[in-house]
């Protein structure tokens, strides 16, 4: 309320705004109800297929502890670029890597799947020849693929594509095994690379954080979307039958929750007319209900909906709008973040954004308007952060990870929202305090997962190699630091300076 307290708004306008603010406020009882519903939906998703959240078994059965060693290839496919990395795990929580980026054209994204996978194989070939990867004739490199599309996995190295998202639409891919399509393309080129692990970005986040921290209970993404992965007891994963495994049934498995779909049944999160408008006009109405209150793709749009409503009620900008404010998704979450970073009394940066980015006339924008825009960003972001804390609390409860000891509870995170939005972590922690208590909240360490899609995929490839050796009855790989490998001075040893970016 502090932004509105200093305005000269009349009591009727203030009452109007306070009514909106109350709709975005989550009290402690509501937070507790959300946590309870989370645990209910987790249980259901773990017991049956086709539920939301999907609680996808990943067939990753162990987390790294930082002692892992070896050189692996990692691919990251999901956005504009394909990233190819060579990752060397040094076994002392240190990593060396180099990478190249290859542009994935619109034609490849929407053409024949075989062409797309041929292009990926060509990129791997180009990387191996130019990056000087030491590889003898009979040596095979193990590859992990970070693939951020919905997949149904049946093994760590097998997964059927369920649907494309994010502008991909290559034909003859849906229903097929992604790893097989990639392996076939590599084989056609006689490249000595074995597709070993198919890794979701949340799983990569979890594994990367575990490698650098020595342990981790949750890998969570708060970026364009939101999702999380954690380790559960197999006894909880009721939907996986005994014959789901070729070898012995493992004790634990990493679960990709797909928690963006939490509360699709609209049971616990109070929804405002601004949320309903967003949902109705989205490409997936009624789906990803939780994500739509939380993630970068949507927060700006909720704020835009509030501001348009206030414009229409002549409370904001004297009833004026702009082309940018009128456009669907016209107000990016990054702008909210920049507005929230503006600590000046008069909101200088906020004014600059409204006039330079959002096309408002400088003469129209009054001090009251700036206060209202800042207030709207605050109430939407605060709700998002508090809701995010509910998911973290749910994983702490689900795994009982804080019980019976005094150690840190380590959470690995990734995504622009948690990384850059001012106060996002504070808001997340405020609901964590309510839900798991101050003592456990204090013990919860939230840290950025370094390059989950690169290092995480490499760790996935190693996990797959270990599973293969165990199945063949071969001895376990030795771990621990190479005595020759000099630890670098840098805390986590990621050799960023050595990254060679060549966008082909
Ligand atoms: P992705 O999730 O696609 O891997 P990011 O983690 O960078 O990518 O998240 C992108 C989302 O974050 C976009 O929706 C964007 O609006 C939002 N975003 C970008 N920059 C910032 C910022 N500085 N603060 C908050 N959100 C941001
Ligand atoms: Mg990301």
Please tell me the distance between residue 55's alpha carbon and the centre of ligand 2 in angstroms. Answer: 20
Q: Mean of the pLDDT values across residues 175-202?
A: 96
For ligand 1, pick from 223, 423, 424 the residue to mutate: most ligand atoms within 8 Å of CB: 223
Instruction: Report d(CA 291, CA 298) in Å as an integer.
Output: 8
The answer, yes or no, to whether residue 483 has pLDDT greater than 80, is no
Residue 114 structural domain:
61-212+450-492
Based on the fold, state whether residues 180 and 132 are members of the same structural domain.
yes
Contacts of residue 317, defined as CB under 8 A and 6 or more positions apart, other chains included, come to: 311, 360, 364, 365, 369
What distance in Å separates the CA atoms of residue 320 and residue 354, rounded to the nearest whole number? Answer: 12
Report if residue 408 sits inside a domain: no
Confidence (pLDDT) at 474:
86
The reply to whether 225 falls in a domain is no
Q: Which of 342, 366, 383 is the last residue of a domain?
A: 383
Q: 18 with 68, same domain?
A: no
Predicted local distance difference test score (pLDDT) of residue 179: 97
Residue of 149, 417, 425, 427 to test ligand 1 pocket, by largest number of atoms within 8 Å of CB: 417
Q: What is the pLDDT of residue 196?
A: 97
**pLDDT the model gives residue 284:** 87
Q: Are residues 71 and 185 in the same domain?
A: yes
pLDDT at position 15: 97
Last residue of a domain, one of 383, 403, 423: 383
Atom 11 of ligand 1, nearest CA residue:
224
Cβ proximity of 445 and 413 under 8 Å? no
Q: pLDDT (tens digit, 9 = 90+) per residue, 324-356?
A: 999 999 999 999 999 999 999 999 999 999 999
Are both 195 and 89 inside the same structural domain? Answer: yes
pLDDT in tens, 420-443: 999 999 999 999 999 999 999 999
Q: For residues 160, 161, 163 and 169, what is the CA-based torsion angle, rounded to 10 degrees?
A: -150
Mean pLDDT across 393-420: 95
Q: In the listed set 354, 383, 412, which residue is the last one of a domain according to the structure? A: 383
| Ligand closest in space to the Cα of 224 | 1
Whether the per-residue pLDDT at 138 is higher than 90: the answer is no
> Rounded to the nearest whole angstrom, what is the distance from the C-alpha of residue 468 to the centroid of ligand 1?
37
- pLDDT higher than 60, residue 488: no
pLDDT tens-digit readout, 32-89: 999 999 999 999 999 999 899 999 999 999 999 999 999 999 999 977 789 999 999 9
What are the residues whose beta carbons fall under 8 Å from the beta carbon of 177, sequence distance 6 or more? 158, 159, 160
CA distances to 300, 306, 339 from 375, rounded to whole Å, are 13, 11, 10
Which candidate, 450, 451, 456, places its Cα nearest to that of 144?
A: 456
CA 295 to ligand 1: nearest atom: 14
Ligand 1 nearest-atom number relative to CA 300: 16
**If you measure from the C-alpha of residue 333 to the centroid of ligand 1, how many angstroms do you get, rounded to a whole number?**
7
Q: Per-residue pLDDT tens for 13-37?
A: 999 999 999 999 999 999 999 999 9
Alpha-carbon gap, residue 197 to 251, rounded angstroms: 20
pLDDT at 178 over 60: yes
**Residue 246 falls within a domain, yes or no?**
no
Q: Which amino acid residue places its CA nearest to atom 19 of ligand 1?
A: 334
Q: Token pair of 163, please?
A: 């649907």
Give the nearest ligand 1 atom to 416 CA.
6
Residue of the nearest CA to atom 3 in ligand 1? Answer: 224
**Percentage of residues of the chain with pLDDT beyond 70:** 93
pLDDT of 132 strictly over 90: no
DSSP label of 190: T
SS3 291: helix
Tokens of 273: 């007319």
CB burial of residue 363 (10 Å; 0-12, 13-18, 19+): exposed
Question: pLDDT band for position 476 (50/70/90)?
Answer: confident
Taking the CA of residue 296 as reference, the ligand 1 atom at the shortest distance is 14
Does residue 81 sit in the same domain as residue 193?
yes
Task: Check whether residue 72 and residue 120 sit in a common domain.
Answer: yes
Active site residues: 166, 201
Q: Check if the beta carbon of residue 205 is closer than 8 Å to that of residue 449.
A: yes
Confidence band of 168 (pLDDT split at 50, 70, 90): confident
The token pair that represents 189 in the structure block: 């080129």
Q: How far apart are CA 498 and CA 451, in angstroms?
A: 15
Residue reference for tokens 């200093």: 6
- Please report, for the domain that includes residue 87, its CATH number: 3.30.420.40
Ligand 1 atom at minimal distance to the Cα of residue 414: 6
Q: Is residue 42 part of a domain?
A: no
479 band by pLDDT with thresholds 50, 70 and 90? low
Is 186 within a domain?
yes
Quick check: 176 pLDDT over 80? yes
Ligand nearest to the CA of 449: 2
Asked whether 74 and 280 are in contact (CB, 8 A), the reply is no
314 and 186 share a domain? no
Q: How far from the centroid of its chain's Cα atoms is residue 294's Cα?
A: 12
Nearest C-alpha neighbor of 417 from the set 430, 409, 427, 403: 427
Contact assessment for residue 32 and residue 435, using Cβ atoms and an 8 Å cutoff: yes
What is the 8-class DSSP label of residue 81?
E
pLDDT at 498 over 50: no
Q: Could you tell me the two tokens for 137?
A: 């004739």
Q: Please give the model's pTM, rounded to 2 decimal places.
A: 0.92
What's the 453 CA to ligand 2 centre distance in angstroms?
8
Counting the structural domains of the chain, the total is 2
Tokens of 474: 């071969």
Residue 255 lies in a domain: no
CA of 452 to the centre of ligand 2 (A): 9
pLDDT > 90? residue 409: yes
Segment 208-251, tens digit of pLDDT: 999 999 999 999 999 989 999 999 999 999 999 877 777 778 99
Ligand 1 pocket test, candidate residues 228, 416, 421, most atoms within 8 A of CB: 416
Give the three-class secondary structure for 474: coil
Based on the domain organization, do 129 and 177 belong to the same domain?
Answer: yes
Examine the domain organization and report whether 15 and 80 are in the same domain: no
Beginning with the edge strand found earlier in the chain, give each strand of the sheet holding 95-103 in spatial order.
95-103, 81-90, 69-77, 141-147, 193-199
Going from the Cα of 48 to the center of ligand 2, the distance in angstroms, rounded, reads: 28
Res. 165: pLDDT tops 80: no
Owner of token pair 């890998």: 219
Q: For residue 114, what are the contacts with CB-CB under 8 A and spacing of at least 6?
A: 172, 181, 185
CATH code of 289's domain: 3.40.367.20
Mean pLDDT, all residues of the chain: 92
Asked if residue 75 is part of any domain, the answer here is yes
User: Taking residues 291-312, what's their average pLDDT?
Assistant: 97
Percent of the chain with pLDDT over 90: 83
Nearest CA to ligand 1 atom 21: 334
**65, 203: one domain:** yes
Does residue 298 fall inside a structural domain? Answer: yes
The confidence score (pLDDT) of residue 482 equals 53
Do residue 173 and residue 300 come from a single domain? no
**pLDDT: is 500 or 263 the higher one?**
263
* 20/72 same-domain check: no
Provide CB contacts within 8 A for 200, sequence distance 6+: 56, 58, 146, 147, 148, 151, 227, 229, 256
Residue 473 has a pLDDT of: 86
Q: What is the DSSP string of 123-159?
A: HHHHHHHHTT----TT--EEEEEEE-S-EEEEETTEE
In this structure, which residue's CA is closest to atom 22 in ligand 1? 334
More confident residue, 6 or 390: 390
pLDDT for the residue numbered 135: 62
* Ligand 1, pocket-test mutation among 167, 303, 333, 453, most atoms within 8 A of CB: 333
CA 314 from centre of chain = 38
Helices 11-24 & 367-399 angle (0-180, nearest 10): 20
**Index of the ligand 1 atom closest to the CA of residue 79:** 3
Between the CA of 129 and the centroid of ligand 2 the distance, in Å, is 28
Q: Which ligand is nearest to the CA of 451?
A: 2
Structure tokens at 404: 């019976």
Pocket of ligand 1 (CB under 6 A): 223-224, 296-297, 332-334, 337, 415-417, 420-421
Q: What angle do CA 311, 417, 80 make, to 5 degrees?
A: 100
Q: What residues contact 86, with CB distance under 8 A and at least 6 apart? A: 71, 72, 73, 74, 97, 98, 99, 127, 131, 133
């Amino acid at each position: 309320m502090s932004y509105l307290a200093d305005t000269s708004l009349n009591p009727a306008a203030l009452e109007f705004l306070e009514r909106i603010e109350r709709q975005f406020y989550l009290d402690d009882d509501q937070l507790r109800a959300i946590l309870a519903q989370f645990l209910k939906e987790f249980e259901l998703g773990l017991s049956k297929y086709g539920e939301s959240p999907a609680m996808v078994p990943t067939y990753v059965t162990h987390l790294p502890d930082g002692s892992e060693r070896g050189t692996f290839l990692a691919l990251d496919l999901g956005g504009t670029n394909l990233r190819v990395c060579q990752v060397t795990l040094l076994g002392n929580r240190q990593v060396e890597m180099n990478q190249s980026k290859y542009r994935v054209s619109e034609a490849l994204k929407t053409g024949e799947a075989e062409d797309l996978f041929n292009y990926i194989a060509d990129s791997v070939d180009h990387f191996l020849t130019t990056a000087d990867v030491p590889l003898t004739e009979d040596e095979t490199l193990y590859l992990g693929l970070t693939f951020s599309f919905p997949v149904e996995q049946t093994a760590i190295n097998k997964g059927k594509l369920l649907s494309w998202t994010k502008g991909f639409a290559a034909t003859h891919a849906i229903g097929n095994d992604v790893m097989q399509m990639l392996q076939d393309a590599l084989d056609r080129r006689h490249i000595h690379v074995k597709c070993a692990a198919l890794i979701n970005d949340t799983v990569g986040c979890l594994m990367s954080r575990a490698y650098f921290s020595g342990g981790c209970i949750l890998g969570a993404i708060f970026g364009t979307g939101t999702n999380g992965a954690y380790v559960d007891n197999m006894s909880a994963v009721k939907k996986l039958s005994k014959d789901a495994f070729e070898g012995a049934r493992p004790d634990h498995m990493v679960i990709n929750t797909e928690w963006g779909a939490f509360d699709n049944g609209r049971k616990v999160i109070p929804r405002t007319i601004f949320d309903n408008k967003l949902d109705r006009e989205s490409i997936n109405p009624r789906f990803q209900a939780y994500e739509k209150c939380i993630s970068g793709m949507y927060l700006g749009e909720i704020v835009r909906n509030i501001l348009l409503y206030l414009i229409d009620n002549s409370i904001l900008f004297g009833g004026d709008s702009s082309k940018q404010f009128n456009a669907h998704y016209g107000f990016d979450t990054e702008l909210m973040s920049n507005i929230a970073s503006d600590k000046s009394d008069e909101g200088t940066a906020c004014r600059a954004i409204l006039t330079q980015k959002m096309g408002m006339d400088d003469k129209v924008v009054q001090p009251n308007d700036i206060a209202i825009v800042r207030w709207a960003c605050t109430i939407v972001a605060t709700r998002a952060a508090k809701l995010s804390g509910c998911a973290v609390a749910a994983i702490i409860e689900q795994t009982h990870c804080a019980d019976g000891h005094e150690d840190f509870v380590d959470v690995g995170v990734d995504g622009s929202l948690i990384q850059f939005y001012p106060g996002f972590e504070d808001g997340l922690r405020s609901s964590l305090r309510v839900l798991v208590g101050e003592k456990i909240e204090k013990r919860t360490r939230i840290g950025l997962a370094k390059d989950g899609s690169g290092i995480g995929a490499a760790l996935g490839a190693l996990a797959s190699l270990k599973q293969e050796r165990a199945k063949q009855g071969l001895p376990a790989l030795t771990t621990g630091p190479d005595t020759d490998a000099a630890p670098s001075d840098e805390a986590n040893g990621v050799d960023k300076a050595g990254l060679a970016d060549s966008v082909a």
